[in-house]
Structure 1
């Protein structure tokens, strides 16, 4: 009975809605609790002037991501997995930087929860990867994953998912290959292609039909620029991809990659 009472007291002492973050790296898996991260020796208060998810200035208690990636090399590849199935593929190099664009793991304090992302929606917590000076390294909105539950070390996208690869005979400088690189950075966090990918959020972009097969003319580009302008529904999740995220030239390259892959379908 005494043991049960002690256990109950310990559970009551835990912060309300405390969460856990799993880091699965080369030296094994480690779990960090909300309390451990809030009291991390390198935790500090930061201000984000133009938060990608909240669309306004935000203030956070955060830990430099580099401080959590012990033993990770700058040429490694990481994936941040959110609780809603969003899976952001991020090269380790930018995450390890200590100048210019710097990555931070914002930690939601249960005693002072963040606001909801919009009406009737939860906050970006319990863990949210944010950036100071994101423009310095061209950090895209897809590299701001929120509701993060796990960060893991993986092989590159090309190694894990060969079904995504363009024809190997195409030059590395070809717009199709440039589009493939942009696809990984800006689209792959939500979408699969040829059944390949880890995201559970958006539809496959090649199976059964590639969007270049059913969007006539420039409608695919218009849809990417502003999805709600072509297909409007309340629960839509795809954001508008502005020219600040993908220039017109880059958007052309992504579409060229998709059109190329329409001829390289692989049944899952």
Structure 2
């Protein structure tokens, strides 16, 4: 038996009105493992309402119920390193120092309330929930868009990128302040959340940036820089995920350093990755 138009409309209204399901977040530290439920985080003693100006994901001002990240990382110190893993495989590598900061840019874990779900990120897409790492005053510490992981499901303490993935390292003969090493730091901050290189990394979103070929080997002239600045201007397709890196996020000098690292690594492909 078919449904009347009125019944279909009522059914759709019920579906749209149905609240977002509660979720859980796992935080794995070397000394303990905690699983937080949505309700527990919303009622956390340190939770408060925060105003985010020009939210990276929503491109507008947003208001969230959020918990300071420092309150969720007990026992960690500035030298530690964590990774925020999203539901889609995005894996943000995060130095702990900015997450613990009490001044300048401050990190918060925004928690989506099932009774008041956040809007979708775009038509046909889900929201940034259930958990979203947001920042107040991000410009004070040069926080990049890759440090705003959304749909987070797990946060885990790990060794640094260099310790876990030595095949990402530039030539050890280079000085610490060599431009290639500076480019490596930018690669970790801006690229490793989505991409691997030489087969190394935890991300599952974008392609490997060195094998079988580095983009510096097949993008001629300044096209690689143009692609990083605005991917859709060179390769346009509806499901593209790579964000544009504006000069406010990645200044021209930093972009040169990043490309310099990729060029350097094109000559350091590993046998295991080929």
Q: Offset of 1:89 from its aligned partner?
A: 0.6
Q: Offset of 1:27 from its aligned partner?
A: 1.7
Which of 113, 116, 121 is matched with 1:117 structurally? 121
1: CA distance between counterparts of 2:220 and 2:135? 37
2: CA distance between counterparts of 1:16 and 1:237? 24
**Residue in structure 1 matched with residue 64 of structure 2 by the alignment:** 60
Say yes or no: does 1:235 pair with 2:239. yes
**Residue in structure 2 matched with residue 81 of structure 1 by the alignment:** 85
Alignment of 1:80-229 (within 5 A): 80-229=84-233
**Contact 2:54/2:60 (<8 A) preserved:** yes
**Residue in structure 2 matched with residue 30 of structure 1 by the alignment:** 34
2: CA distance between counterparts of 1:27 and 1:170? 35
How many residues are matched?
A: 254
Say yes or no: does 1:265 pair with 2:269. yes
**Contact 1:26/1:72 (<8 A) preserved:** no
Q: CA RMSD in A?
A: 0.9
TM-score by length of 2: 0.91
TM-score by length of 1: 0.93
Measured against aligned partners, the alpha-carbon deviations of 1:79-115 in whole angstroms (never above 9, x if no partner) come to 1010100000111000011111110000000000000
**Contact 1:48/1:59 (<8 A) preserved:** yes
**Contact 2:180/2:257 (<8 A) preserved:** yes
- Larger deviation, residues 168-177 vs 157-166: 168-177
Q: Offset of 1:16 from its aligned partner?
A: 5.6
Unaligned runs of 5+ in 1: 1-14
Unaligned runs of 5+ in 2: 1-18
2: CA distance between counterparts of 1:259 and 1:97? 34
2: CA distance between counterparts of 1:226 and 1:74? 34
**Contact 2:23/2:38 (<8 A) preserved:** yes
Q: Offset of 1:26 from its aligned partner?
A: 2.0
Deviating 4+ runs (over 4 angstroms): none
